[in-house]
A and B are shown apart, each in its own frame.
Chain A
Amino acid sequence: MKDHEAVIVGVADAPLINGKVAQPGSALQIVARCAKAALDEAGLTLGDVDGLFTAGMWGIPGVGQLPTVTLSEFLGIRPVVHDGTNIGGSAFEAHLGHAALAIEQGLCDVALIVYGSAQRSEMSRNLAGRPATLTMQFETPWGLPTPVGGYALAAMRHMHEYGTTREHLAEIAVAARAWAGLNPAATKRDPITVDDVLAAPTISKPLGLLDCCLVTDGGGAIVVTRASHAKAQGLKPIHVRGHGQAATHWTIAAMPDLARLTAAEMASERAFAMAGVTHDAIDLVEVYDSFTITTLLTLEALGFAERGGGGEFVSNGRIAPGGAFPLNTNGGGLSYAHPGMYGIFLLIEAVRQMRGEVEPERQIANVRTALVHGTGGTLSSGATCILSLD
């Protein structure tokens, strides 16, 4: 371990009860509490933070348009590295890559990556289209329910090209729920069956209610600093060995191939190359599951499943607890929580699994290397991080 290398030394999330923050608060309050908890874990304070990384959907239009600037003021800090990169829910995997680079280049010493949302408590989430300006002139007037409609279009195309079935997609929802059943912090914990998923009300054909992620509050924070600090504090450091990002479209009609997650292919290829590892080295995978189809497309794009073979890959409980390919071990966006943007929670779960500190029932043994992949927009962007204990 080289002293200048960037390592994750603190993570925290906001406790939830039935999908709402246990301690009610605004997005800014949620962020502040998570930041303090993650810094406490790292043996640091807000006064040490000189790099701030966030993306969010609060305060837009308004103070949320410059989110790191607003947050700096609220937190009482003066960061010298600001990153408000917003590529959708995958932004936090991109932030981690950027934070690692900034630390290793000496631009900052302590990077704080944060997210907070009170969307469930505030009832601020809806399916109505985005304003029909600029590129959205060609999508919003059609009444595409966003974001589910875009994912439904992709699912339908994947079914057409590869014979993927609703049962295949349902397996993903069932597995997520089974993991959530082992996670006391998860929002939806009652077991479900494939038949339950198929019988749930259709939202945007072929996707039904249980193919869709939850709508919850949530908050999270990650602290990144130099390995030398971790050593001095006696912390178990998590290294960022590889990262990559890409985006291919925003309006769904412009997606290059609706049955293929090109952004994830591009991002993960770069992350694997930077980390210098192959798929065999990966002990645990955490991927963004905004919808069941997202998981399926991502497994194919990352190269764990063959192209078109995602349905077969997830069948027979393979990604469920006890299966050969544990995936989304906290219950995911489908059953744990989904506060608008979910990417930071993939990283938090991977870190806790690598430290061996989750509940024994869902702890994966000896996770030395983990791959985290976020997806943002409407299958638009992807960002991959490969984390390692050494």
Chain B
Amino acid sequence: MTKPHPVVDPGTAPYWAALKEKRLILKSCRACGQAHFYPREICPHCYSDDLDWIEAKGTGEIYSYTVAVRPAGQAFEADAPYTIAIVTLDEGPRMMTRIVAADADAVEIGKKVTVRFVEEDDLVLPFFALGGA
């Protein structure tokens, strides 16, 4: 069973297109200098609309995680148990991700992680693996 694919819209298309090229991009505000995730139309920090895309370094640390023992529906049954994390990127924003299966047993809050682009069902997702860049 195919996993749920994002229904890409004009506001998110650049993000998903960059992932296909193994790049993680963020919206950043020219007015206040802060990046945010996921991409918005107005800066959620200072409410300016003067936004730009920047390329993230792809590094951060684990803010929290859970191990999904019971999967989110049939599409994820083969993966269970799997580790979902919220990562604080070095640029500031937090994003949801999954930690690669090989690192599952060593996951802890506060550990450094680096993006690992994983291709599945014609979709590239920014997983993370333990360890700095």
* Chain A interfacial positions (CB closer than 8 Å to B): 126-129, 131-135, 137-146, 148-149, 152-154, 156-157, 160, 201-207, 251-254, 258
> Which of B38, B69, B71, B86 is within 8 Å of A205, CB to CB?
B69
What total of chain B residues lie within 8 Å of the partner, measured CB to CB?
A: 39
CB distance A144 to B68 under 8 Å? Answer: yes
A142 to B86, CA, bound (A): 11
* Cβ-based interface call for B20 (8 A): no
CB distance B5 to A203 under 8 Å? Answer: no
* 5 residue pairs, one from A and one from B, having the closest CB atoms: A128-B73, A137-B6, A152-B66, A205-B67, A143-B76
A144 to B12, CA, bound (A): 20
A331 to B101, CA, bound (A): 39
* Chain B interfacial positions (CB closer than 8 Å to A): 3-9, 12, 16, 37-38, 63-76, 79, 81-82, 84, 86, 94-98, 109-110, 123, 125
CB distance B69 to A251 under 8 Å? Answer: no
A146 to B71, CA, bound (A): 10
Tell me the smallest distance from the CB of A257 to a CB of chain B, in Å: 10
Known: A143-B75, A204-B68. A153 touches B4 (CB 8 A): no
A129 to B3, CA, bound (A): 10
Nearest CB in chain A to that of B97: its residue: A142
> Which of B9, B63, B72 is within 8 Å of A157, CB to CB?
B63
CB distance B5 to A144 under 8 Å? Answer: no
**Residues of B with C-beta under 8 A to A127:** 70-73
**Inter-chain pairs besides A140-B6, A145-B72, A207-B66, 19 sampled, C-beta below 8 Å:** A134-B9, A137-B9, A137-B38, A138-B96, A139-B96, A143-B82, A144-B96, A145-B71, A148-B70, A149-B72, A153-B66, A153-B86, A154-B64, A202-B67, A204-B68, A205-B81, A206-B66, A252-B86, A258-B64
**Residues of A with C-beta under 8 A to B8:** 137
Nearest CB in chain B to that of A128: its residue: B73
CB distance A138 to B7 under 8 Å? Answer: no
Tell me the smallest distance from the CB of A154 to a CB of chain B, in Å: 7
**Residues of B with C-beta under 8 A to A254:** 94
Nearest CB in chain A to that of B6: its residue: A137
